[in-house]
Amino acid sequence: MKLEKTTRPLTFLRRGQPVTVGNVPPDRTLLEVLREDLHCTGTKEGCGEGDCGACTVVIGEAVDGKLTYKAVNSCIKLAHSVEGMAVFTAEDLASDTGEQHPSQEAMVQCHGSQCGFCTPGFVMSLFGMYQNTGGGQDITREQAQADLSGNLCRCTGYRPILDAAQQMGSLPLPPGCEVNEAATLAALKSIRPRSQASDTYLRPATLPALLQARAAHPRAQVVAGCTDVGLWVTKLHKRFDQVLDVTAARELRRVETYPHHLAIGAAVTLTDAFAALVSEYPPLKTFAQRFAGLPVRNAGTLGGNVANGSPIGDAMPLLIALGANVVLMRWDKKRQQVAHRELRLEDLYTGYRTNVMKADELLCWIKVPRAGKASSAAPGQELLRVYKISKRFDDDISAACLAIRMTVANGVVKEVSIGAGGVAATPVRARQTEAALLGQPWTADTVMAATAALRAEFQPISDMRASAHYRQTVLGNLLQRYWLESQGLQRINLESLTASDLEAVA
């Protein structure tokens, strides 16, 4: 039976005061509420798909008794997902007497704005950076470039904006521009969660409650960060009568460390998930920053990326190469308890955006072997690399992605795992290529044979991002790059260049 869509009020903080908006449908975006209901037109709509950053706002949330700040794209964020949080927009930064916040004043002094359309989004990303660095202190060029990767500008060439990022920490903070964190935390506590007995936007606070809601409402649209589902709303004009949001379940907001693996909850943001992975596997740092722009990583979750199963999703090739498993959970009505099953990530998918999950199941955990724990082979040299090929270096979707983890001992390939994206209907494991490498001497001849096997293993399609021939060719080239890097060659790709290097050749 089709549900009759109903609305519910939405309450969040602005400038330290609760704001309540009535009659908000479950699929209404935060940008629509800000611009149309609250008339905050400083927040712009550019692309409507989380790609340009003109709609960036900063979300403040109480985590372990502290106020955290995250820049996010409001155009693809469902409004009800900020219930009980603080929302900062470009209108909220200046003092009541008109004095500019350092993130704004730095843009003025460094001439960081030209046409001005993208400027509010840049300012909000700068504000988030300012708050997270203790007042904009010691921001490097590389950090500024990484944190502003989700904001696009057609006018300035970015250099003055990067200058502003580094200069804002030296500017005074006028009275009235500071965030009273103690008062904000107290105000957040005063916002009581609304009863969800008959609501169409469900956001349970515990894992059992989440699974019970899934069992009771198997047709509800499941969302996490909405970095993909949000596009279904803005671009495909889909409408949802009922939404089930996993991000409030406190058990799923954690990264748990065990002797042999990391357990990453489905509600852990991409930012935090990659921080944990980079801590375990330092070579992943550049890939983590390239995965998406910071506002997308701040909103999206690793669990959502995996459950969505896009063939061009970048997380899955990496996780396949790392030997990750997924844990699916449901509510056992008969026993009145949580039930679960575990399987390899590559076995989750059955076809294009389809998987083995039942109607009452949710993907709840991703288990990633810790460094040195994924291999059962004899000790040797382990090399992990993941390569993303896209038209833009930052904030772009892959044409192809290849992740390789290999252990070589005494010059022989003892273990190898390869994940690929953008070459099939699902993220896939390159089993034939693995077979061509396993047990073979790690030599140029072996790599040449494996390159041919890799190019022949998949039959990709041609689309707007790349032709099938290009994808097949580049897969082999990436394996060749992996071979060269294993032999000690450096600075053979853009990932090895710094922000200063890129500016020098601009």
Beta strands in 226-324 (DSSP E): 243-245, 255-257, 261-265
Report the pLDDT averaged over residues 115-130: 96
Distances, alpha carbon 317 to alpha carbons 43, 346, 420, 421, in Å: 35, 9, 5, 6
Question: What is residue 210's predicted lDDT score, i.e. its pLDDT?
Answer: 97
Of 312, 322, 315, the C-alpha closest to 383 is 322
Domain ranges of the chain: 7-194, 203-374, 381-496
Q: What is the pLDDT of residues 232-254, one digit of tens each?
A: 999 999 999 999 999 999 999 99
- CATH domain 203-374 topology: 3.30.465
Beta strands in 55-105 (DSSP E): 56-63, 66-73, 86-88
Q: Answer whether residue 496 shows pLDDT above 80.
A: no
- For 364, the token pair is 């709840």
Q: Answer whether residue 197 shows pLDDT above 60.
A: no
Collapsed DSSP state (helix, strand, coil) of residue 223: strand
Residues 6 or more apart whose CB falls under 8 angstroms from that of 334 comprise: none
Question: What is residue 501's predicted lDDT score, i.e. its pLDDT?
Answer: 64
Report the pLDDT averaged over residues 377-389: 83
The CATH class given to the 7-194 domain equals alpha beta
By percentage, how much of the chain surpasses pLDDT 90? Answer: 83
Beta strands 201-202 and 325-332 are: unpaired
Q: Answer whether residue 374 shows pLDDT above 80.
A: no
Architecture of the domain whose range is 381-496? 2-Layer Sandwich (3.30)
Q: What is the pLDDT of residues 394-429, one digit of tens each?
A: 888 899 999 999 999 999 999 999 999 999 999 999
Q: What is the pLDDT of residues 46-97, one digit of tens each?
A: 999 999 999 999 999 999 889 999 999 999 999 999 999 999 999 999 999 9
Of 415, 420, 394, 390, the C-alpha closest to 405 is 415
Q: How far apart are CA 399 and CA 468, in angstroms?
A: 10
As beta bridge partners, residue 403 has 386, 419
Of 276, 267, 270, 252, the C-alpha closest to 370 is 276
Average pLDDT, the chain: 92
